[in-house]
Amino acid sequence: MYRIDFNKLRFLVCDDNAHMRRILRTLLHSFGAREVYESEDGATALEMFSHYVPDIVITDWSMPIFDGLELAQMIRQPEANGNPYAPIIMLTGHSEKRRVTMARDAGVTEFLVKPISAKALYQRIMNVVANPRPFIKTKNYFGPDRRRNASSSHVGPERRVGGQMEVMQQPSLIDKARIPG
């Protein structure tokens, strides 16, 4: 079986709620992480993202002024400072399908619905570490490949042309969100 050397990973946690930050910090340190940087709003998180260059970002959605969705959109700027390919795990109380779709379209890598559990968080981290997806750049999207299976049933106007080789065999973000944290 595979394990993650958490002591080699640098995390940025963004949540406006101090209790949730404490829980996340506790879980990550227990996994073995040493470098866990914390922010209570999206703007500060973006500054810390550029400064510390974290390997993985874990962010809440609902925050004052500059929320987690906007943070994801700012990180996923191909020309921006920092690492625009950094995995982003959205950890949120939102559990509606349209929210998952919005997060996916903002470039979020993994979606985790609160309440949080150690197991679900570990699994999401393992997935972004061990199974990174290719990135797709279109005129209006830059982020991890949103195709998670080989289905060709989607006939909408945004279906991109060609590139079958990059289709990933993974559960969709919505399927993953169905599993509570």
Partner 1 sequence: MAKAKPPTVQIKAFSDHHVITQPNPLRNVVRYVDNDDEDDPVARAEQALADLSGEFDNWMVAECERLAAAYTAMTDSQFSAASRDELFRAAHDIKGEAATFGYPTAAAAAESLCRIIEHAPSLAAVPGDLVKHHIDAIQAIVREQNSIQRMGVAGELSKRLRNVADEYLTAVNQDRPEHLEAVLAPSIVPGD
Q: Give the three-state DSSP class for 73.
A: helix
| Side-chain-side CA neighbours of residue 176 (13 Å) | 22
CA distance 58 to 95: 17
Q: Does the protein bind partner 1 through residue 66 (CB under 8 A)? A: no
Q: Does the protein bind partner 1 through residue 129 (CB under 8 A)? A: yes
- Report the chain's C-alpha Rg in angstroms: 16
* Binding residue (CB under 8 A) for partner 1 from 64, 77, 149, 152: 64
Are 30 and 118 contacting, i.e. CB atoms less than 8 angstroms apart?
yes
Torsion, CA 47, CA 51, CA 54, CA 59, rounded to 10 = -10
Q: In angstroms, give the least distance from the CB of 143 to partner 1.
A: 10
Scanning 39-47, 102-110, 118-126, 148-156 for contacts with partner 1 by CB under 8 A, the matching segment is 118-126
Interacting residues toward partner 1 by CB under 8 A: 1-6, 8-10, 16-17, 19-20, 22-23, 26-27, 29-32, 52-55, 62-64, 85, 92-98, 100, 113-116, 118-119, 121-122, 126, 128-130, 132, 134-139, 145, 160-163, 166, 174, 177-180
